[in-house]
Each structure stands twice: as structure tokens, then as C-alpha cells.
Structure 1
Amino acid sequence: MKMLLIYTYPNHNSLNYAFLQKVIKGSNENTNIEELQVLDLYEENFDPLLVFNEQKRRRDMYTDPNIEKYRKQIMWADKIVFIYPIWWGRPPAMLLGYIDQLFSSNFAYKDKKGLFPEGLLKGKSVVCVSTMKGPTNYPFLWLNNSHKILMKRALFNFVGIKKVKFFEFGNMESPKGNQKKKLEKVYNYFQKV
């Protein structure tokens, strides 16, 4: 299995970075994972801004040479792992900008007759490791599970990715947040996946 880790947090002295390290450590100990690539969107200085004009049209995003290397990474990967915080009930703008640009028409999906497009990323799987300050059940109870619906239904299922797993950890800024236990849970998962 080839695995792409997409890390979206601006601080390497953080809990999110500790989750990244646990994913890497577990993956390196897993004989099912033959190759691993890490994309740190902040370290990469990824530009999340969409620009459309006469020279750069939305319908041509799938051929944009500025993001060709990122398209190649997605095509290369069997499993894509996203590590990010949940801010205001959704992933950070940096990650959403990456998604807006990369999961484009004629690359991630193709319009066809009928209600839904054809997903072009079939056969891949996704794991989302997310952290938040609020309680773990906050997105479910107060936001009608909007984070998971956004990521699974509105994005991944739309582009043909049906196998999606979530690690959604709350209370991460609390001394009683069980951070070590949650880090070990992620490590154990990637050691065996």
C-alpha cells in the first residue's frame, strides 16, 4: 500500500504534529505499507487561494501546471490520510483550499448524465485524523455531524472514495483530554491497517 499523509497545521510543536509523528511511526512499522509520502501544506507554502480569470479558468483546473505534483501524489496513493484541526466546525481554510483545487472536475470526478458525477478516485481509501478544543460529541450534537458529512458525503463519496475512517478527537486542550491514549490509538491503527 502507498500512503500519502496530508498535514495541515502551522505549528510543529503541537498535538497535531504529535499525531502526524504517531501516524508515521505506526506506518513505518506496518509491513503492508510499502511507501509513505508526507505533504505538510504549511511547510510547502501551499497557496490555498483560487484564482479564475481569462487565462486561468475553473474548468481547466485539472491541467493547472502549478498543482501537477499534488495531482500526481493523489494518483500515486492508495490511502490518503488527512491530519488537521477542526476550527469553527470544519477543516482549516488551508486544507479546504487544497481540496478546492485538487478535487476538481476531470481529475477527481467527471460530469455525466444523471444526478451524480462519476467519481474518478475509486479504489482509494481515506483516514481523517482531526482534533478540536470542544467536546468530542460537539460536531454530532450541535452541528448535525456537519464535519463528517462534509468530508465523507460532500467530498470523498462524490469523487468515488467510499472507504472513509474518522478519528475525531475532542477536548484536546484540556488536561483531562486523554491525549496520550488518543495518540496511542492512532499509532496502533496505523501499525496494523
Structure 2
Amino acid sequence: MNVLIIYTHPNHQSLSYAFLQRTIEGCQENKEIDEIKVLDLYEEGFDPVLVFNEQKRRRDMHKEPSLEIYRQQLIWADKIIFIYPIWWGRPPAMLLGYIDRMFASGFAYQDKGSLLPEGLLKGKSAVCISSMMGPALYPMFWLNNAHKVLMRKALLQYVGIRNIKFFEFGNMESAKGRQEQKLERVHRYFQAVSN
């Protein structure tokens, strides 16, 4: 199994970075995982800005030469892991910009003239690891699970990815947030995951 980790946080002293390190450690200890690649969007200097004009048309976005390396990463991966904080009830703008540019028609999905398109990333699985300052139940009761709906239905299922796991941790800036237990939970999961 090939694993692509897409990490989105500008600070390498953050809890998100600790989740990245534990994820890598768990994957390295898993005999089912052949290779791991990490894409740190901030460190990479990924440009999240969409540009459409006479030279760059939306229908050609899936062929944008500067994005070919990132398309090859997604094709290569059997499992895609997203690690990010929840800010304002949703992933950071940097990750949303990556999604806007990478999950393009002609690459991630194909319109078939029916209600839903054909997902072109079928057979892959995904894990979303997110943390937030507020309580864990806040997104469910106050925001109608907007974050999970966005990632599961509006993105991953839309492009054909059905096997999706969420780790959504709240109260992460609290002294009672049990950060170490949550880091260990993620570590153990990746030690044993098989698909």
C-alpha cells in the first residue's frame, strides 16, 4: 500500500505537526505499507489560487503542467491522509485551494450527463485527521457536521473514494484535552490499518 499524507499547517510546533509525526511513525511500523510520501502544502509553497482567463480555462485545469507532480502523487497513492486544523468550522484555505486545483474534472471525476459524475479516484481510501480549539461536538450540533459533509460527500465520495475514516479531535488547546492519548490513538490506528 502506498500512502500520501497531505499536511496543512504553517507551524511545525503545532499539534497538527505532532499528528503528522505519529502518523508517519505508525505507517513505518505497518508491514502493509510499502511507501510513504508527505506533501507539506505550506513548506512546498503550493499555490492555492485558481486563475481562469483566456490562457487558462477551467476545462483545461486537469492538464495544468505545473500540477503534474501533484496529480502523479494522487494517482500513486492507495491511501490519502489529510492532516489539518479546523478553522472557522472548515479546513484551512490552503487545503481548500489544493482541493480546488487538484480535484479537477477530467482528472478526479468525469461528467457523464447524469445527476452525479463518475469518480475517477475509485479504489483509494482516505483518512482525515483534524483538530480544533472548541468542543468536539460543536461541529455536529452547531454546524450540522459541515466539515465532515464537505470532506466526505462534497469531495471524496464525489471523486469515487468511499472508504473514509475521520479523526476529529476537539478541546485541543485545553490542558484537559488529552492530547497524548489522541496522538497515541492515531499512532495505533496506522500501525494496524490494512486498506
How many residues were matched structurally?
Answer: 193
Q: Partners of 2:86 and 2:8 in 1: how far apart?
A: 11
1:1-193 maps to which residues of 2 (within 5 A)?
1-193=1-193
Q: TM-score, normalised by structure 2?
A: 0.98
Q: Partners of 1:138 and 1:181 in 2: how far apart?
A: 20
Provide, for residues 126-167 of structure 1, a one-character-per-residue CA deviation record: whole Å limited to 9, x for no partner: 000000000001100100011000000010010000011000
Q: TM-score, normalised by structure 1?
A: 0.99
Deviation at 1:113, TM superposition (A): 2.2
Q: Partners of 2:156 and 2:24 in 1: how far apart?
A: 23
* Partner amino acid, structure 1, of 2:6: I
Deviation at 1:42, TM superposition (A): 0.3
Q: Note the residue ranges of structure 2 that are not aligned, 5 or more in a row.
A: none
Provide the secondary structure at the position in 1 that maps to 2:83. strand
Provide the secondary structure at the position in 2 that maps to 1:59. helix
Provide, for residues 105-133 of structure 1, a one-character-per-residue CA deviation record: whole Å limited to 9, x for no partner: 00000000210000000000000000000
Hey, which bits of structure 1, 4+ residues long, moved more than 3 A? Answer: none
Deviation at 1:74, TM superposition (A): 0.1
- What do you get for the CA RMSD once the two structures are aligned? 0.4
Q: Partners of 1:134 and 1:65 in 2: how far apart?
A: 40
Q: Partners of 1:44 and 1:51 in 2: how far apart?
A: 19
Q: Partners of 1:156 and 1:68 in 2: how far apart?
A: 20
